[in-house]
């Protein structure tokens, strides 16, 4: 049986919160918080105690819409309870549902684009309408579901709708479970000595619940053995407690070194060095989940990045990455340990995740001190050594990885497609596998044999700096690529005023009752200014401008009345049709972001809600007919590359994926020259055909079009023979 409790919030607050817990002596529980504007639910699942501090795991759930989140919050929390706790749940009095039935229930209300079904009627006349009493609490459907052991089901929970986090700090869980505000009685946690556990785990950043119970044991003999193990290997104290075989060895007095070597990959000498480190390993990502990925680049320009990198480094990863290095590379002092983890999290793991480069190829470049190695990387990027912390290194790495990706999409793949086109073979349809293979080819072209390149980390720092310096020039290529062309279609004079950087808007400005004004973004300069004001990427990522110009999306700013300050930015989606009613029905909010992509302030949320209500109710005039004609104008003048129209195929195009006009020789040549300035070497000194000296590029071409590859190989063979004949016929000097 699950008890449900909803906590009240002020009526103008978008949040709802609540608890679920099982009605048993050792309950499982779910604590949740719902943002009814964004449709995002966050919370923690708390397992049974079973004589020790329970395990608690955070989660984040995104509903397909804000409306669905309000209607289906209770059903979602019940299914979450079953999924996260590996249990089956069912309405009281009915048989427990199978995994398939639960999956069907989940898909019914999480299917994006479907109209949300109304919440089922409460049984036994229980109240299901949210209401607040004077205590700030509201009961909702007690005795509604039963719990029991069983297999969990696999559904969209495994995909992007739900994200599980790492288990919470065991000390925090203990404090939570002993809080007077807990709405249920916690199970038996074994009465751990939390002070003793806290002291033993002082060098562990986020100790597990198991570790807190292990070192908090009140038996004097066991406590002494366990504390001695923690003192011998301070940063490994959590790992010792979490590995049953090692924990048993501690209690029985057996040697720990062989077991720790097996668990970490470190030799006896490496473990001895590691025993001198007392600073917790920083396992957190340089940027939080909702944080803007931005900051100054190698040239000192503060800009938002298009690529999101989220790398966490648990102690096991930090140790296993050292295992293949000489023992004298294992840090033996806190500054060295900090520098090593910054390099691992800020550069090594992001690069390895994005490419086929191995960790050893990057870490092996350190010939001695990790602090000195970090300083050498700063010099390679022409940065002050003391400025290259984990966050700065992550940003530089993002720039390097982004450069490799953009090189693939604006130089390598366009050249492959142009080569296929030159054979008069049909250009193949867009292929995700082809794009991935092309990315690998681009990395190989630039980095060469990474395993044998000791200078690779420094090369990445230099690439990031050069790429940052060439971004304005590449943006200029994008703008030239989107210039309007001469045409004689009707309406040319009407749309000529928009030029290459402006576009008609969906609506005019809207004045909200709280004094805010919602203004549509009508040009690239508007988007750029919005990014400057709020520190997000709407004016940095070119895709926003492209989509807004093509009337694929509509971007608005919530501003003060004077228009000199912005509170938030929101993006609407929905296919535009000539009929206004049809267009209104399709309109929906894609995202609404405040400063640095944080939650919009209450004043902005209020204005946004008022705007959306007026828009849907027909109280705001929309320019549906004008936008339909604008799209037709762009199609007629060749400016709708990658945008699907009603008469076109539903297959996405290469132009859409590559975000450039790959068929235009001038554009390809312009990008190749820019990338030569970024990468140097054979990219700078050769023509684009050098791409096909890389086997992975040839393999990509063959994968996309075997017939074209055969023709091109035959051409190359004939060219070689012609050169050989010419040399043979040449007179002797």
Query: Is the pLDDT reported for residue 259 higher than 50?
Result: yes
pLDDT-based confidence at residue 584 (cuts at 50, 70, 90): confident
Q: Tell which residue, 278, 210, 199, 198, has the closest CA to residue 241.
A: 210
What is the three-class DSSP state of 60? strand
Q: What phi, psi does 468 have (nearest 5°)?
A: -60, -35
Average pLDDT over residues 204-211: 94
Average pLDDT over residues 685-711: 92
Spatial separation of the C-alpha atoms in residues 121 and 431, rounded to whole Å: 47
pLDDT-based confidence at residue 50 (cuts at 50, 70, 90): very high
Query: pLDDT, tens digit, for every residue of 651-692?
Result: 457 876 776 788 889 889 999 999 999 998 889 888 898 999
| Helix residue spans in 233-311 (DSSP H) | 237-242, 244-252, 257-264, 268-274
What's the residue count for the chain?
Answer: 733
Query: pLDDT, tens digit, for every residue of 382-438?
Result: 888 888 888 889 999 999 999 998 999 999 999 999 999 999 999 888 887 888 899
Cα–Cα–Cα angle for 699, 701, 707, rounded to 5 degrees = 110
Spatial separation of the C-alpha atoms in residues 369 and 339, rounded to whole Å: 9
pLDDT at 218: 95
Q: What phi, psi does 362 have (nearest 5°)?
A: -95, -45
Average pLDDT over residues 625-639: 79
Q: Tell which residue, 575, 598, 569, 602, has the closest CA to residue 588.
A: 575
Q: Tell which residue, 186, 166, 180, has the closest CA to residue 53.
A: 186
| Helix residue spans in 344-412 (DSSP H) | 349-354, 359-363, 370-380, 390-407
| Helix residue spans in 381-491 (DSSP H) | 390-407, 413-422, 432-447, 456-481
Cα–Cα–Cα angle for 26, 30, 31, rounded to 5 degrees = 125
Spatial separation of the C-alpha atoms in residues 33 and 18, rounded to whole Å: 7
Q: Which residue has the higher pLDDT, 395 or 304?
A: 395
Spatial separation of the C-alpha atoms in residues 106 and 557, rounded to whole Å: 35
Strand partners, 61: 41, 162
Count the Cβ atoms, other than its own, within 10 Å of residue 86: 13
pLDDT at 141: 26
Spatial separation of the C-alpha atoms in residues 706 and 149, rounded to whole Å: 54
Q: What phi, psi does 29 have (nearest 5°)?
A: -145, 160
Query: Which DSSP state fits 329?
Result: G
What is the three-class DSSP state of 629? helix
CB 330 within 8 A of CB 337: no
CB 539 within 8 A of CB 532: yes
Q: Tell which residue, 339, 299, 277, 344, has the closest CA to residue 317.
A: 344
pLDDT-based confidence at residue 475 (cuts at 50, 70, 90): confident
CB 54 within 8 A of CB 31: no
Q: What is the mean pLDDT of the chain?
A: 80
Q: Tell which residue, 284, 289, 285, 302, has the closest CA to residue 597.
A: 289
Spatial separation of the C-alpha atoms in residues 370 and 277, rounded to whole Å: 14
pTM (predicted TM-score): 0.67
Sheet holding 553-559, edge to edge: 510-511, 517-520, 553-559, 566-573, 588-593
Query: Which DSSP state fits 502?
Result: B
Dihedral sign, Cα of residue 240, residue 242, residue 246, residue 252: positive
pLDDT at 114: 36
Spatial separation of the C-alpha atoms in residues 39 and 35, rounded to whole Å: 6
What is the three-class DSSP state of 509? coil
Query: In the chain, pLDDT over 90 holds for what percent of residues?
Result: 40
Query: pLDDT, tens digit, for every residue of 500-527?
Result: 788 999 999 999 999 999 999 999 889 9
CB 235 within 8 A of CB 277: yes
């Amino acid at each position: 049986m699950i008890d449900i409790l909803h906590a009240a919030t002020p009526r103008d607050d978008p949040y709802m919160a609540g608890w679920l817990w099982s009605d048993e002596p050792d309950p499982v529980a779910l604590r949740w918080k719902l943002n009814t504007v964004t449709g995002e639910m966050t919370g923690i699942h708390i397992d049974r105690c079973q004589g020790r501090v329970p395990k608690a795991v955070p989660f984040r759930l995104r509903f397909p819409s804000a409306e669905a989140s309000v209607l289906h919050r209770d059903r979602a929390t019940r299914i979450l309870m079953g999924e996260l706790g590996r249990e089956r749940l069912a309405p009281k009095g009915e048989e427990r549902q199978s995994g398939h039935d639960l999956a069907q229930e989940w898909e019914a209300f999480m299917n994006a684009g479907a109209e949300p079904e109304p919440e089922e009627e409460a049984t036994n006349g229980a109240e299901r309408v949210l209401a607040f009493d004077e205590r700030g609490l509201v009961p909702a459907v007690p005795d509604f579901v039963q719990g029991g052991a069983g297999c969990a089901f696999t559904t969209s929970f495994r995909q992007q709708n739900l994200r599980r986090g790492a288990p919470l700090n065991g000390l925090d869980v203990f404090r939570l479970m002993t809080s007077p505000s807990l709405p249920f009685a916690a199970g038996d946690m074994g009465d751990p000595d939390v002070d003793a556990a806290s002291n033993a785990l002082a060098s562990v950043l986020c100790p597990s619940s198991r570790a807190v119970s292990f070192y908090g044991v009140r038996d004097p003999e066991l406590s002494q053995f366990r504390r001695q193990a923690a003192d011998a290997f301070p940063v490994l104290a959590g790992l010792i407690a979490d590995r049953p075989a090692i924990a048993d060895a501690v209690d029985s007095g057996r040697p720990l070194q062989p077991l720790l070597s097996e668990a970490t990959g470190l030799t006896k000498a490496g473990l001895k060095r590691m025993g001198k480190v007392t600073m917790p390993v920083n396992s957190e990502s340089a940027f939080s989940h909702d944080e803007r990925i931005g900051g100054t680049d190698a040239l000192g320009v503060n800009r938002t990045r298009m690529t999101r990198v989220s790398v966490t480094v648990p102690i096991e990863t930090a140790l296993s990455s050292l295992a293949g290095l000489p023992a004298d590379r294992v840090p033996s002092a806190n500054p060295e340990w900090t520098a090593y983890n910054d390099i691992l999290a800020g550069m090594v793991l992001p690069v390895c995740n994005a490419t086929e480069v191995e960790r050893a190829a990057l870490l092996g470049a350190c010939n001695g001190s990790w602090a000195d190695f970090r300083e050498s990387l700063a010099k390679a990027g022409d940065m002050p050594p003391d400025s290259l912390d984990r966050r700065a290194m992550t940003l530089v790495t993002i720039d390097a990885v982004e450069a490799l990706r953009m090189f693939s999409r604006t130089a390598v793949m366009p050249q492959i497609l142009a080569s296929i086109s030159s054979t008069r073979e049909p250009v193949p349809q867009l292929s995700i596998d082809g794009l991935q293979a092309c990315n690998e080819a681009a990395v190989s072209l630039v980095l060469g044999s990474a395993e044998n390149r000791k200078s690779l980390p420094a090369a990445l720092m230099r690439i990031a700096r050069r790429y940052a310096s060439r971004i304005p020039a590449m943006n200029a290529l994008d703008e030239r690529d989107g210039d309007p062309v001469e045409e004689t279609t009707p309406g040319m004079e009407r749309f000529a005023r928009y030029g290459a950087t402006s576009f008609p808007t969906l609506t005019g400005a809207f004045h909200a009752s709280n004094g805010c004004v919602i203004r549509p973004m009508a040009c690239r300069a508007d988007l750029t200014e919005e990014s400057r004001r709020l520190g997000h990427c709407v004016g940095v990522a070119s895709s926003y401008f492209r989509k807004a110009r093509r009337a694929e999306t509509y971007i608005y700013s919530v501003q003060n009345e004077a228009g000199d300050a912005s509170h938030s930015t929101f993006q609407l989606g929905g296919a535009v049709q000539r009929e206004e009613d049809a267009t209104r029905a399709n309109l929906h909010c894609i995202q609404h972001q405040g400063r640095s992509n944080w939650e919009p302030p209450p004043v902005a949320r209020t204005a946004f809600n008022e705007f959306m209500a007026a828009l849907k109710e027909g109280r705001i005039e929309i320019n549906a007919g004008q936008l339909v004609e604008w799209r037709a104008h762009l199609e007629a003048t060749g400016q709708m590359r990658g945008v699907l129209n009603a008469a076109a195929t539903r297959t996405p195009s290469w132009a859409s994926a590559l975000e450039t006009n790959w068929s235009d020789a001038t554009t390809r040549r312009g990008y190749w020259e820019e990338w030569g300035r970024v990468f140097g070497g054979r990219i700078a000194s050769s023509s684009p055909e050098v791409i096909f000296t890389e086997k992975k590029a040839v393999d990509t071409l063959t994968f996309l079009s075997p017939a074209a590859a055969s023709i091109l190989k035959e051409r190359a063979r004939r060219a070689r023979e012609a050169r050989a004949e010419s040399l043979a016929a040449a007179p002797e000097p």
